[in-house]
Amino acid sequence: MVLRSESAVAVPARPLSRARFRIKEGTAFGWMMAALPLLFLVAFVGYPFVYGIWLSLENRSVARPAVFVGLGNFIADARDPVFWQVVRNTFVYTIVATVLKAGGGLALALVMNQNFRGKNLVRAMVLLPFIVPTVLSTIAWMWILDPAFSVLNWFLVHLGERPPGPSWLGNPYLAMGSVIFVNTWRGLPFYAITLLAGLQTIPGDLYDAATIDGAGSWHRFRYVTLPLLQPVILIVTMFSVIFTFSDFQLVYVLTRGGPANATHLFATYSFDIAMSAGQLGRGASVALAMLPALALVIAALTLYMRRRRW
Amino acid sequence: MVMRGGWRVKLLQLWLPLGFFLLFTLFPFYWMTVTSLKPNAELYNTQMMPLLLYHPTLKHYVDLLTQTSFLLWTWNTMLVAVVSTAISLVLGTMLAYPLARINFPGSALIAFAVAATYLVPQPLLFIPMADIINRMGLGDTLTSVILTYPTMLVPFCAWLLMGYFKSVPHELEEAARIDGASHFQAMWRIVLPLCTPGFISAGIFAFTLAQNEFLYALIFLTKTDVRTVPVGAIAELIRGDVFYWGQLMAAALLGSIPVAIIYSFFVEHYVAGLTAGSVKG
């Protein structure tokens, strides 16, 4: 770990008077420094956020005057069967992909936490799916899952499957399975590397002590590794849930939400409504429908990080 | 006997699962490479073993570089990523420094807001943002993305840098202050130079995030000459139902190489950025 721990650098208590002097005089400097970036964030995150809420209350199409409709867009969402399909899709996508990424990531982290030659090289290669631009790697997956020339189907057909083999992106269930699989491929390294870093902070003597007390490998994992890794698992999972729940790129490239809306998520559906159909207000209302679930996770994670970090 | 058992255990516990995960991770990259080097006759021949390469050709690369605006897209992507990373490092430092080192009224609230901002996903903001960018007259300009990428990158950089800033002992700064340095001088000459690893981590991470961005680029950049690689590939190498697979794979590979190279030089810093916050070193 390059990152130095805060606790490694002990800061002895300072005399109160000097500390107070610095606080007062530091306030001006602090605000002077923070003012510009704060202004920027208010203008380009705060304002769009509030403006988005306003948009969702309007009937606004491209090149037409806006009409205030109150909760009209949300009522339209509630009556739209596709919207409810999108809700279901997003939850299935998020839950299944998160479980696969967390389970697989933990497994990979445990495998990599052993001593072997080429460890650093392996770690660097394992992270590749996560660093390569998602759209570009998803294009490769599109070709792997191609209806006519899928390399998977070449093998399946040669193993006796009826040609042309499964339509990975054409069948609603297989399409959902495929986008979840590709999301897992991309996100698993993040879990693995972060959990590996977590594993490396667990002191070896704890395992020695457990072994002396007669713990087998399962018990060492269950009663030493897992409890000590739990905070890391929690943070990584919450973090990944936020970005899986609001995923756009992968589904947009792979299926555009199809077939027959079977893989539409909140983000892709609101994009379709706002950008393709030009209904900004309705689109904004679909995007905002993500907020309750997201806000819950964001608030929990922010509080948790704050407690640990600040 | 002991040696043999150890070897078997190692195979089962280490090499087999590791091999499986590496195959899972790297196969798409192998497939990208092989596909980009195949002539069309081979690419669309289902009789041939697809994993092998019989007549490698650079035709798709030549076509990509001469018949499309790929080089321009690459330039655009680099320019946008570098400029927005630089902006984000400066603004992130300005935000993180006082939060990490000065306990002034309101700092806790700001810190909370920054963390929350970092976690607000783009799809929540893109529709109002599209309208705002349009009204500012910035559609189809690189300025639109250079201005909007830092909305994700500034909170991230601030959040990451805060940990580094906090780790510098107050005594160093106080010594400088007693010697007559101003707050700014103490920061510029003493604290920031000690946090170089933090700047590298934040910079590398922000750079890859900027290269990866797609949604804003897709909405704001609709003309060929301002597009970034991901948007260019999706919008112009797929024409209707016609997929130029060879060129698409060449573009995917070439587009990934800059990030991969920079990443390979700074893996440690990247990992530090990745795990900051979730793992206390």
pLDDT recorded at residue B274: 77
pLDDT recorded at residue A24: 60
- Rounded to the nearest angstrom, the minimum Cα separation between B248 and chain A is 7
Q: Where are the domains of chain B?
A: 61-275
Partner residue facing B95 (CB), from A14, A37, A190: A37
pLDDT recorded at residue B277: 59
Partner residue facing A190 (CB), from B218, B274, B280: B274
What is the SS3 assignment for A279? strand
Bridge partners, residue A67, by sequence: A59
Q: pLDDT at residue A224 above 50?
A: yes
pTM of the prediction?
0.89
pLDDT recorded at residue A310: 41
What string of pLDDT tens digits covers the 281 residues of chain B? 344 557 888 888 888 999 999 999 999 999 999 999 999 888 888 777 888 888 889 999 999 999 889 999 999 999 999 999 999 999 999 999 999 888 777 888 888 888 888 888 899 999 999 999 999 999 899 999 999 999 999 999 998 899 899 888 888 888 888 888 888 888 898 889 999 999 999 999 899 999 999 999 999 999 999 999 999 999 888 877 778 899 999 999 999 998 888 888 888 888 887 777 565 43
- Which domains are assigned to chain A? 81-309 (1.10.3720.10)
For residues A59-66, average pLDDT: 77
State the DSSP code for A263.
Answer: T
For residues A5-19, average pLDDT: 43
Query: What phi, psi does B218 have (nearest 5°)?
Result: -65, -40
Q: Write out pLDDT tens, residues A137-188.
A: 999 999 999 888 888 888 888 888 877 788 899 999 999 999 999 999 999 9
Alpha-carbon distance B132 to A125, whole Å? 40
Would you call B28 and A137 a contact, using CB atoms and an 8 Å cutoff?
yes
For residues A299-303, average pLDDT: 82
What string of DSSP letters covers B119-171? Answer: HS-GGGTHHHHHHHHHHTT-TTSHHHHHHHHHHHHHHHHHHHHHHHHHHS-HH
Report residue B108 as tokens.
């806790």
Q: pLDDT at residue A18 above 60?
A: no
Considering all CA atoms of chain B, what is the largest pairwise distance in Å, rounded to the nearest integer?
79
For residues A84-95, average pLDDT: 96
Query: What phi, psi does B215 have (nearest 5°)?
Result: -65, -50
Which is it for the CA torsion B66, B68, B70, B76, positive or negative? positive
Q: Using CB atoms and an 8 Å cut-off, which of residues 53-82 of chain B contact chain A?
A: none
For residues A264-273, average pLDDT: 95
**CA within 13 Å, CB half, A286:** 33
Instruction: Select the residue from A17, A132, A237 to test the B interface by mutation, using most B Cβ atoms within 10 A.
Output: A132
Query: What phi, psi does A294 have (nearest 5°)?
Result: -65, -45
Alpha-carbon distance A145 to A275, whole Å? 27
What rounded mean pLDDT belongs to chain A?
86
- Rounded to the nearest angstrom, the minimum Cα separation between A209 and chain B is 22
pLDDT recorded at residue A259: 92
| CATH for B61-275 (3.40.1000.10, 3.30.9.10, 3.80.10.10, 1.10.3720.10) | 1.10.3720.10
* Length of chain A (residues): 310
Find the radius of gyration of the CA atoms of chain B: 24
Alpha-carbon distance A151 to B245, whole Å? 13
What is the SS3 assignment for B243? strand
B56: enclosing H helix or E strand: none
User: Any CB–CB contact under 8 A between A270 and chain B?
Assistant: yes
Residue pair B201/B220 in contact (Cβ under 8 Å)? The answer is no
For residues A16-38, average pLDDT: 71
Report residue B59 as tokens.
């035709």
Q: Write out pLDDT tens, residues A273-285.
A: 998 888 899 999 9
pLDDT recorded at residue A82: 95
- Alpha-carbon separation of residue A207 from A200, A213, A220, A229, B14 (angstroms): 12, 10, 7, 14, 19
Q: Write out pLDDT tens, residues A103-116.
A: 999 999 999 998 88
Alpha-carbon distance A188 to A205, whole Å? 29
Q: Using CB atoms and an 8 Å cut-off, which of residues 272-291 of chain A contact chain B?
A: 274-275, 280, 283-284, 287-288, 290-291
pLDDT recorded at residue B278: 60
pLDDT recorded at residue B270: 83
pLDDT recorded at residue B144: 94
More confident residue, A217 or A2: A217
Alpha-carbon distance B233 to A66, whole Å? 35
Chain A residues whose beta carbon lies within 8 Å of the beta carbon of residue B169: 9, 11
Chain A residues whose beta carbon lies within 8 Å of the beta carbon of residue B84: none
Bridge partners, residue B239, by sequence: B242
Would you call B155 and A308 a contact, using CB atoms and an 8 Å cutoff?
no
A5: enclosing H helix or E strand: none
Chain B residues whose beta carbon lies within 8 Å of the beta carbon of residue A2: 197, 201, 268-269, 271-272, 281
For residues A246-266, average pLDDT: 93
pLDDT recorded at residue A8: 37
Would you call B17 and A198 a contact, using CB atoms and an 8 Å cutoff?
no
